[in-house]
């Protein structure tokens, strides 16, 4: 071979070798025709509305290169004031869910068949025509809670075909609360509470931080009332069978049996009357009330509920002393036979305590009040079964999952003569049984409005094009149902027209303004009239002779702070982020009191088979003092694969354990069932939890101080400035030159240029809701490890909410968000052989992914254990990868990662500041966690600026650093929680 | 030893180099398969990720570093025996010095693989080396891992050179008796050794210098390895006792490994006259000594935890004894510091089965000591919320099997192809009497 041939062959060989190794998917296509307002690398924000639950929070959606990548709250929006909960954050994973249907599906004899959107539309209009020919009223429709214009379209269609108005189905329809409101205030609906004005709050199972009415709104209001401000702090007592997130945030949580809330409430009514409250009330009413409440003496209440007399009298005393007490009834969790009574009693207590009812805002009504009562839902399906229907339309509801087996829904859907059309983006329990499933544009891709409350009309606009070109349901129905009737019209036009008709807006320009702001926030209110004349019925209800049936053990199906009624279960983040209280991921264990566990010869972590009157479920035992002894609790769970795919073979949902019984007066469901047996199951699975010990072993991690100590101490100097370096007395050592002490430090402090970023975390404000974690997952492209890997201990969260129990009373909980502390004397930095953890000139502890070789020494040496290693190359199954934030690297396997204080946001602020030739202003950089936190736990800023908020907050006497005795000089400074027990 | 003659020594040792049997090659083949299994597991881990092992958060260091420390520890007594005992003129080290040195070299080689297996991105592991680069980035010389790189590579270099130098006269003996290709190979290997007086003079001087150079390394290497932990902040690691504690532990395990290797070697190669019971007895006595030091170190750790008044430290040590890893802890205590005390009894330390059993137990105990320290400490450190436990996976066991096979594979190849006993030193020993080490 001559030299030339050799060179040729070698050249070809090496080139083909190089080409063979390259990854073909790395091809970049340019956007041939870019949208007008799209600038590559620059985000667009669209104001729209979160529709993950009926609350209707305003959100800003970040769009990068045509893809929505992050959801943040709309600061202008009066409901959520710029904050979003964990479910809202995860709405993106609905849009990008791998299980999302790409085209309509028709059930044929040969199984499921994908059809085109136009075929589906034609088939639908054909079905409409057939229904029309068969006679009037042959169509039935059930929908989720929708906006008024959309409901009007539905209604109009139904009227045209001579059918009944569409039924609005929402698993949490607050029947008992609605009925109680009607009976006591004459308002058949759900109004808002001015919780922020109250100084003493009693909740009878109202989980307003979890799922109740409008969780973000009430988290904000709750912390306004309960967070320490100007030396004042409200008190909160929660009475419920299980320690929900809301209960865990109460100053005093009182466990009681299901339905025993009523007894406590009546006892309090008696006490209040004894204390002379309610004198302004009508005398005969008061007399009636007195006679009803009279048997409920403190002794009797204590006897019946097992709550100590001291506690009850303590509460009633505090109630009397407080100036603005507020009492909440629930309506969505632990619904029992006496829920209505509890709600009535709560309303009566409000009436007794605040005769002017200043904290109840009757004018602000929640949209979810349009939901039909459970009794009506059951009737609906019974009618469908009765062969009077040809076409059944289900809009984004999943009754097969959320209704008990005996409800008749399965029978109705099996009825051969009914053609069932599901408008749903996913294969779920209901769409799997439908004849045709038509995916429609999701809320983030649609035009609409939504009446979050009667004062707020919030707009929805497409933040991106529908991923698979799905039509909007409004457009689709207008087209298919009115095919031969009227001209085709767009739903968006209809929305504007309806707003104009209602007088909300008058011109097109106003509509544009409304869209830009995300809604109309000053809707002229119709003064709701409420009558103080109580309906006589309440006395009938309260005097109703209840059979004293003591259920030895009942199983309660509880709303989930992560999955709501189970609808969020296919969003991987929601399964991956642990439940705030159990810290369990990907599983829904059964909560059991230690006594109950012992009595049934079980132990923590055992798989049990629990049988109720209606069904059988297998769940892992989670031993906790956070539940009443005679109650078992399972949250509303749903099984999904790791990439959001629906698992069809699970025939029995968690709701099939319940009976289809309803509470007659309110028409509400019963959300618990009698347990027949608990046995150890044959199968077993380890509990996938992210916590180690539930106690903090006196290590000064999550610290608290009693309110008395906080308010009495006149000394406003730093009480934390201890001089010692022992575990019990240690100083606050700020990561700035002042924090350095020649006696303790070998090395001098780092020198920083202009900025030393730091964060203050106020434990008194943290409710543990994990919204920060959701925001962090979305912002920072954090991998989803899945159940198996979390059992192996490989969760990837950069910020975690640590939950610690009081060793003396396991019912007391303290939450602590833990993320990289960006220490000035960072143990991780010195041990890395290759300088991958690097101290930046602005004080950040940067992790240089490219430099990391994966020795994991940094993680081993981190006392806070906040570093996360990429054990694998984590997968984002298509299209979840479209959500990845282009500003943040998606890390590959073998490197360490951790909280970066959202350095991409700091960099962006630097760019802006540099362009404007100024320094970064305080509050200009807000990390994702701080941005979304509904209770404003996090404050981020520059410690070198004495005027910054963080600099001011660190002089608070509550300031401390986690395990400050290690002298790592963390840049995350915590403020102690303030305890204010009764 | 009086009955031995120089010729007998030569013959006994050179007999071991006779053409190996099929069984021998069978064993070599089996060990080779074991090495391949390890390699395949490693390959699988590189492709899929470190997650195929059992490490997690908080226990990010698992069997890879346990084995690393274990093998570095094994490597210790080779140099101890050949260098320190040489300088101390302890004559009983001569029969076992060569095998112990060989063990050292191969154990360091095996140990040196584990950091590579351990890191997440082995393909960029060269970042740890101080090489000039356009990014002007240097390794972090504050990091104990960089100390490790320096310490281990120095140790490997010095012990390999010491080992090879010591072998030169013996290689020449083999050359002299060999024919054909074998003669050619050994002619090259013995570097032209002719046995002239100047050569002997240089040889003895250089051997002494190497011994003097290697001696501090024996102490330093494992001290440096111990700083991987002692320089950390983790309770159970952050302790000044670590350097002497680790050195003693290393020698303890190394001596036990020497006995474990010598007993079969002695039997198979009919070395009974050379490696006498007296030699083994002396090793056993030293094991008693190191075992006592190790036991003392365990006690000191508990004393310090109590004396510090630091509740994190106290809780951590209490948990060691009664917590999730209590079985591992008690294996460690019993095997390392209680069982070796049986060697106080003469009957036991002169009984081959007892020697073998106890030494294997010490090896197991020392492996668990590293487990307790490395995995146990971080499993239960500062933040209780982050506590978590670790168990090795099949992949890790595969790699561990591969490492053990690699060590024995190399060792078996060596003893059959190279002189496993220093004929030179044995003859000097013969000449100078029992109390002179060479």
Quick: pLDDT tens for A36-71. 778 888 899 999 999 999 999 999 999 998 899 999
pLDDT of residue A716: 46
List the single range of A272-281, A565-574, B400-409 with lowest mean pLDDT.
A272-281
Band of pLDDT at residue A702, cut at 50, 70 and 90: very high
Q: Which residues of A touch B384 (CB under 8 A)?
A: 692-697, 699, 701, 804
Residue A853 touches partner B, C-beta closer than 8 Å: yes
User: Was domain A1-96+444-469+492-522 assigned CATH 3.40.50.20?
Assistant: no
* Bridge partners (DSSP) listed for residue A395: A143, A423
**Is A693–B387 a contact, with Cβ atoms under 8 angstroms apart?**
yes
What residues of chain B, 146 to 165, have a C-beta less than 8 Å from chain A? 146, 149
Which residue from B minimizes the CA distance to A696? B384
**Is B119–A835 a contact, with Cβ atoms under 8 angstroms apart?**
no
**Is B384–A698 a contact, with Cβ atoms under 8 angstroms apart?**
no
To the nearest whole number, what is the mean pLDDT of chain B?
90
Q: A166 near A516, Cβ under 8 Å?
A: no
Residue B49 touches partner A, C-beta closer than 8 Å: yes
3-state SS assignment for residue B4: coil
Cis peptide before B58 (omega within 30 of 0): yes
What residues of chain B, 366 to 405, have a C-beta less than 8 Å from chain A? 378, 381-390
* B162 domain residue, yes or no: yes
**Is B120–A726 a contact, with Cβ atoms under 8 angstroms apart?**
no
State the best of A692, A794, A966 to mutate against chain B, taking most chain B CBs within 10 Å. Answer: A692
pLDDT at A484 over 80: no
CB atoms inside a 10 Å sphere around CB A417: 10
pLDDT of residue A18: 64
**Strand pairing category for A58-64 and A44-49:** antiparallel
pLDDT at A356 over 90: no
Band of pLDDT at residue B1, cut at 50, 70 and 90: very low
Which pTM does this prediction carry? 0.92
Q: Which residues of A touch B309 (CB under 8 A)?
A: 726
- How far, in Å, CA of B105 to CA of B117, rounded? 19
State the best of B42, B46, B48, B60 to mutate against chain A, taking most chain A CBs within 10 Å. Answer: B60
* B279 domain residue, yes or no: yes
Torsion of CA A398, A404, A406, A412, to 10 degrees: 0
Contacts of residue A77, Cβ cutoff 8 Å, sequence gap at least 6: A57, A58, A59, A456, A458, A518, A519, A521
pLDDT at A566 over 70: yes
State the best of B44, B47, B48, B51 to mutate against chain A, taking most chain A CBs within 10 Å. Answer: B51
To the nearest whole number, what is the mean pLDDT of chain A?
89
**Strand pairing category for A813-818 and A800-805:** antiparallel
- How far, in Å, CA of B384 to CA of B316, rounded? 11
What burial class does residue B1 get, using C-beta atoms within 10 Å of its C-beta: 0-12 exposed, 13-18 middle, 19+ buried?
Answer: middle
pLDDT of residue A717: 47
How many domains does chain B contain in total? Answer: 1
pLDDT of residue B259: 92
Q: Which CATH number fits domain A551-680: 1.10.10.10, 2.40.40.20, 3.40.50.1860, 3.40.50.150?
A: 2.40.40.20
- How far, in Å, CA of B160 to CA of A797, rounded? 47
Q: What is the pLDDT of residues A835-871, one digit of tens each?
A: 999 999 999 999 999 999 999 999 999 999 999 999 9
For helices A491-502 and A508-517, angle between their N-to-C axes, nearest 10 degrees = 100
**Is A699–B234 a contact, with Cβ atoms under 8 angstroms apart?**
no
Residue A852 touches partner B, C-beta closer than 8 Å: yes
pLDDT of residue B433: 58
Residue A726 touches partner B, C-beta closer than 8 Å: yes
* B407 domain residue, yes or no: no
CA A774 to chain centre: 10
Q: A216 near A78, Cβ under 8 Å?
A: no
- Mean pLDDT calculated for residue range A769-784: 95
* B402 domain residue, yes or no: no
Residue B264 touches partner A, C-beta closer than 8 Å: no
ipTM: 0.93
3-state SS assignment for residue A613: coil
What burial class does residue A271 get, using C-beta atoms within 10 Å of its C-beta: 0-12 exposed, 13-18 middle, 19+ buried?
Answer: buried
CA distance B295 to chain A (A): 26
**Is A831–B390 a contact, with Cβ atoms under 8 angstroms apart?**
no
- Mean pLDDT calculated for residue range B255-284: 89
CATH number of the domain encompassing residue B303? 1.20.1630.10
pLDDT at A677 over 80: yes
pLDDT of residue B432: 65
Which residue from A minimizes the CA distance to B123? A853
**Is B56–A792 a contact, with Cβ atoms under 8 angstroms apart?**
yes
What burial class does residue A216 get, using C-beta atoms within 10 Å of its C-beta: 0-12 exposed, 13-18 middle, 19+ buried?
Answer: buried
Band of pLDDT at residue A84, cut at 50, 70 and 90: very high
CA distance B67 to chain A (A): 15
CB atoms inside a 10 Å sphere around CB A542: 21
List the single range of A191-205, A502-516, A848-862 with lowest mean pLDDT.
A502-516
3-state SS assignment for residue A449: strand
Residue B56 touches partner A, C-beta closer than 8 Å: yes
- Mean pLDDT calculated for residue range A605-616: 91
Q: Which residues of B touch A794 (CB under 8 A)?
A: 51, 56-57
- Mean pLDDT calculated for residue range A329-336: 88
Residue A849 touches partner B, C-beta closer than 8 Å: no
pLDDT at A620 over 80: yes
- Which CATH architecture fits A100-172+372-439? 3-Layer(aba) Sandwich (3.40)
| Region A704-979: CATH code | 3.30.70.20
Which residue from B minimizes the CA distance to A864? B383
pLDDT at B232 over 70: yes
Residue A839 touches partner B, C-beta closer than 8 Å: no
Helix, strand, coil share (%) of chain A residues, nearest 5: 30, 20, 50
Query: Which candidate, A172, A181, A139, places its Cα nearest to that of A373?
Result: A172
Q: What is the pLDDT of residues A289-316, one digit of tens each?
A: 888 888 899 999 999 899 999 999 999 9
What residues of chain A, 862 to 881, have a C-beta less than 8 Å from chain B? 863-865, 867-873
* Helices marked H in A715-814: 771-779, 786-791
- How far, in Å, CA of A43 to CA of A86, rounded? 22
CB atoms inside a 10 Å sphere around CB A684: 11
Band of pLDDT at residue A355, cut at 50, 70 and 90: confident
pLDDT of residue A719: 46
Question: A175-370: CATH homologous superfamily?
Answer: Dimethylsulfoxide Reductase, domain 2 (3.40.228.10)
Q: Which of B57, B115, B232 sits opposite A861 (nearest CB)?
A: B232
CA distance A977 to chain B (A): 18
Helix, strand, coil share (%) of chain B residues, nearest 5: 75, 0, 25
Q: Which residues of B touch A860 (CB under 8 A)?
A: 58, 60-61, 232, 234, 378
* B211 domain residue, yes or no: yes
What residues of chain A, 892 to 951, have a C-beta less than 8 Å from chain B? 893-896
In this structure, which long-range contacts are made by residues B113-118, counting pairs with CB atoms below 8 Å and at least 24 apart in sequence?
B113/B403, B113/B406, B114/B64, B114/B65, B114/B67, B114/B68, B114/B71, B114/B403, B115/A855, B115/B64, B115/B65, B115/B68, B115/B145, B115/B148, B117/B42, B117/B45, B117/B64, B117/B399, B118/A855, B118/B61, B118/B64, B118/B65, B118/B68
Q: Which residues of B touch A865 (CB under 8 A)?
A: 57-58, 381-383, 386
* Helices marked H in B191-345: 197-230, 242-268, 277-308, 311-322, 326-333
**Is A692–B315 a contact, with Cβ atoms under 8 angstroms apart?**
no
Counting one residue from chain A and one from chain B, the pairs whose CB atoms sit within 8 A come to 177
- Mean pLDDT calculated for residue range B378-388: 93
Domain borders along chain A are 1-96+444-469+492-522, 100-172+372-439, 175-370, 551-680, 704-979
Reading phi first (left if > 0) and then psi (alpha if -120 to 50, else beta), residue A375 is in alpha
Which residue from A minimizes the CA distance to B116? A855
**Is A860–B118 a contact, with Cβ atoms under 8 angstroms apart?**
no
Which is more confident, A112 or A717?
Answer: A112
Band of pLDDT at residue B213, cut at 50, 70 and 90: confident
Q: A35 near A73, Cβ under 8 Å?
A: no
- How far, in Å, CA of B436 to CA of B430, rounded? 9
Contacts of residue B75, Cβ cutoff 8 Å, sequence gap at least 6: B103, B104, B105, B107, B108, B111, B155, B159, B221, B250, B254
Q: What is the pLDDT of residues B296-336, one digit of tens each?
A: 999 999 999 999 888 899 999 999 999 999 999 999 999 99
List the single range of A420-424, A888-892, B419-423, B427-431 with lowest mean pLDDT.
B427-431
Range of the structural domain that residue B121 is part of: 6-17+55-127+149-391+418-432
């Amino acid at each position: 071979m001559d030299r030339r041939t050799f060179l040729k062959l070698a050249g070809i060989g090496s080139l083909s070798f190089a080409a063979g190794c390259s990854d073909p998917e790395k091809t970049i296509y340019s956007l041939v025709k870019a949208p007008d307002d799209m600038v590559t690398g620059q985000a667009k924000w669209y104001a729209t509305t979160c529709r993950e639950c009926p609350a209707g929070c305003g959100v800003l959606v970040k769009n990068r290169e045509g893809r929505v990548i992050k959801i943040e709250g709309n600061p202008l929006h009066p409901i959520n004031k710029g904050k979003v909960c964990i479910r809202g954050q995860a709405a993106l994973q609905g849009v990008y869910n791998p299980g999302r249907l790409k085209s309509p599906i028709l059930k044929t004899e040969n199984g499921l068949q994908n059809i085109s959107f136009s075929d589906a539309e034609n088939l639908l209009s054909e079905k409409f025509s057939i229904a029309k020919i068969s006679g009037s009223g042959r169509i039935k429709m059930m929908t989720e809670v929708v906006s008024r214009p959309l409901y009007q379209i539905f209604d109009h269609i139904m009227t045209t075909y001579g059918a009944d108005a569409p039924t609005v189905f929402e698993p949490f329809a607050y029947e008992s609360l609605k009925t109680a409101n009607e009976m006591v205030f004459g308002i058949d609906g759900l109004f808002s509470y001015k919780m922020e004005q109250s100084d003493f709050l009693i909740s009878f199972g109202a989980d307003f931080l979890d799922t109740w009415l409008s969780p973000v709104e009430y988290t904000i209001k709750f912390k306004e009332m309960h967070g320490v401000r100007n030396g004042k702090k409200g008190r909160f007592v929660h009475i419920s069978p299980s320690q929900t997130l809301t209960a865990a945030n109460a100053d005093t949580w009182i466990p009681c049996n299901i339905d025993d809330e009523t007894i406590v409430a009546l006892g309090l009514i008696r006490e209040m009357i004894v204390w002379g409250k309610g004198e302004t009330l009508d005398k005969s009413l008061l007399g009636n009330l007195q006679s009803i409440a009279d048997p409920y003496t403190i002794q009797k209440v204590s006897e019946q509920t097992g709550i100590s007399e001291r506690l009850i009298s303590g509460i009633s005393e505090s109630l009397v002393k407080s100036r603005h007490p507020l009492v909440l009834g629930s309506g969505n969790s632990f619904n029992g036979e006496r829920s209505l009574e509890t709600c009535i009693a709560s309303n009566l207590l409000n009436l007794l305590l605040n005769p002017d009812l200043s904290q109840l805002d009757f004018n602000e009504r929640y949209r979810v009040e349009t939901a039909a009562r459970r009794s009506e839902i059951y009737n609906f399906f019974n009618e469908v079964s009765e062969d009077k229907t040809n076409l059944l339309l289900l809009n984004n509801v999943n009754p097969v999952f959320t209704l008990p087996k005996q409800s008749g829904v399965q029978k109705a859907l099996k009825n051969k003569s009914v053609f069932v059309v599901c408008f749903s983006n996913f294969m779920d329990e209901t769409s799997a049984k439908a004849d045709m499933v038509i995916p429609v544009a999701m809320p983030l891709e649609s035009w609409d409005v939504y009446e979050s409350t009667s004062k707020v009309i919030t707009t929805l606009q497409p933040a991106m094009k529908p991923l698979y070109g799905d039509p909007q349901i409004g457009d689709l129905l207008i087209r298919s149902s009115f095919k031969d009737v009227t001209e085709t019209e767009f739903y968006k036009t209809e929305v504007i027209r309806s707003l104009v008709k209602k007088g909300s807006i008058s011109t097109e320009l106003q509509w544009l303004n409304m869209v830009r702001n995300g809604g109309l926030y000053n809707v002229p209110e119709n003064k709701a009239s409420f009558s103080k004349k109580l309906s006589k019925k309440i006395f009938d209800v309260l005097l109703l002779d209840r059979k004293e049936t003591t259920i030895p053990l009942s199983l309660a199906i509880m709303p989930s702070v992560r999955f709501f009624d189970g609808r969020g279960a296919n969003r991987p983040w929601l399964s991956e982020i642990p439940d705030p209280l159990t810290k369990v991921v990907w599983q829904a264990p059964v909560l059991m009191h230690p006594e109950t566990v012992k009595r049934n010869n079980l132990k923590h972590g055992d798989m049990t088979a629990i049988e109720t009157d209606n069904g059988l479920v297998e769940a892992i035992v989670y031993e906790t003092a956070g539940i009443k002894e005679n109650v078992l609790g399972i949250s509303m769970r749903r099984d999904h694969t790791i990439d959001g795919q629906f698992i069809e073979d699970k025939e029995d949902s968690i709701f099939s354990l319940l009976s289809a019984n309803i509470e007659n007066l309110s028409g509400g469901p019963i959300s618990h069932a009698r347990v027949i047996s608990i046995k150890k199951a044959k199968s077993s699975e380890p509990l996938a939890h992210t916590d180690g010990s539930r106690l903090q072993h006196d290590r000064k991690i999550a610290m608290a101080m009693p309110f008395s100590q906080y308010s009495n101490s006149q000394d406003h100097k730093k009480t934390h400035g201890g001089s010692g370096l022992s575990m019990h007395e240690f100083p606050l050592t700020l990561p700035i030159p002042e924090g350095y002490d020649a006696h303790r430090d070998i090395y001098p402090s780092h020198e920083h240029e202009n900025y030393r970023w730091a964060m203050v975390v106020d434990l008194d404000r943290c409710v543990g809701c994990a919204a920060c974690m959701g925001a962090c997952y979305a912002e920072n492209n954090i991998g989803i490890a899945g159940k198996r890997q979390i059992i192996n201990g490989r969760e990837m969260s950069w910020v975690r909410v640590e939950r610690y129990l009081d060793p003396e009373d396991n019912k007391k909980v303290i939450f602590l968000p833990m993320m990289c502390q960006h220490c000035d004397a960072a143990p991780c930095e010195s041990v890395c052989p290759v300088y991958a953890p690097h101290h930046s000139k602005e004080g950040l502890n940067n992790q240089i992914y490219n430099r990391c070789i994966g020795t994991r020494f940094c993680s081993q040496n981190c006392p806070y254990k906040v570093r996360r290693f990429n054990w694998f190359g984590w997968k984002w199954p298509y299209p979840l990868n479209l959500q990845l934030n282009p500003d943040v690297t998606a890390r590959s396997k073998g490197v360490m990662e951790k909280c970066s204080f959202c350095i991409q946001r700091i960099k962006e602020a630097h760019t802006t500041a540099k362009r404007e030739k100024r320094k970064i202003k305080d509050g200009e950089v807000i990390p994702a966690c701080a941005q979304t936190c509904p209770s404003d736990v996090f404050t981020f800023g520059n410690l070198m600026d004495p005027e910054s908020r963080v600099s001011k907050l660190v002089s608070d006497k509550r300031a401390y650093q986690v395990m400050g005795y290690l002298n790592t000089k963390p840049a995350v400074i915590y403020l102690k929680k303030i305890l204010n027990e009764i | 030893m009086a009955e031995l003659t120089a010729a007998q020594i030569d013959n006994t040792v050179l007999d071991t180099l006779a053409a190996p049997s099929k069984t021998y090659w069978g064993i070599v083949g089996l060990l080779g398969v074991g090495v391949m299994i390890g390699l395949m597991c490693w390959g699988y881990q590189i492709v899929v990720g470190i997650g195929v092992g059992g490490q997690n958060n908080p226990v990010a260091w698992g069997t890879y570093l346990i084995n690393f420390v274990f093998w570095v520890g094994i490597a210790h007594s080779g140099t101890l025996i050949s260098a320190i005992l040489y300088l101390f003129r302890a004559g009983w080290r001569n029969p076992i010095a060569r095998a112990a040195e060989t063990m050292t070299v191969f154990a360091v080689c095996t140990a040196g693989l584990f950091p590579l297996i351990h890191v997440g991105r082995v393909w960029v592991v060269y970042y740890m080396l101080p090489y000039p680069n356009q990014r002007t980035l240097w390794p972090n010389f504050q990091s104990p891992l960089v100390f490790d790189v320096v310490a281990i590579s120095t140790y490997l270099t010095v012990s390999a050179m010491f080992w090879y130098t010591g072998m030169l006269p013996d290689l020449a003996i083999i050359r002299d008796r060999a024919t054909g290709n074998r003669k050619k190979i050994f002619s090259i290997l013995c570097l032209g050794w002719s046995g002239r007086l100047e050569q002997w003079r240089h040889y003895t001087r250089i051997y002494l210098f190497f011994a003097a150079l290697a001696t501090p390394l024996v102490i330093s290497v494992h001290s440096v390895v111990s700083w991987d932990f002692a320089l950390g902040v983790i309770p159970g690691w952050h302790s000044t006792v670590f350097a002497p504690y680790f050195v003693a532990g290393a020698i303890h395990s190394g001596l036990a490994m020497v006995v474990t290797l010598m007993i079969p070697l002695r039997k198979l190669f009919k070395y009974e006259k050379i490696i006498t019971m007296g030699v083994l007895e002396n090793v056993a006595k030293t094991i008693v000594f190191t075992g006592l030091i190790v036991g003392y170190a365990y006690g000191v750790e508990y004393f310090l935890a109590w004396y510090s008044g630091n509740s994190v430290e106290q809780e951590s040590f209490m948990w060691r004894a009664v917590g999730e890893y209590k079985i591992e802890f008690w294996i460690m205590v019993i095997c390392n510091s209680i069982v070796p005390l049986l060697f106080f009894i003469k009957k036991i330390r002169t009984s081959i089965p007892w020697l073998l059993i106890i030494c294997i137990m010490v090896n197991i105990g020392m492996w668990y000591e590293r487990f307790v320290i490395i995995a146990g400490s971080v499993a239960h450190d500062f933040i209780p919320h982050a506590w978590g436990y670790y168990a090795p996976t099949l992949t890790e066991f595969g790699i561990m099997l591969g490492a053990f096979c690699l060590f024995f594979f190399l060792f078996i190849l060596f003893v059959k192809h190279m002189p496993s006993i220093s004929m030179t030193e044995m003859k000097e020993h013969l000449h100078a009497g029992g109390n002179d080490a060479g």
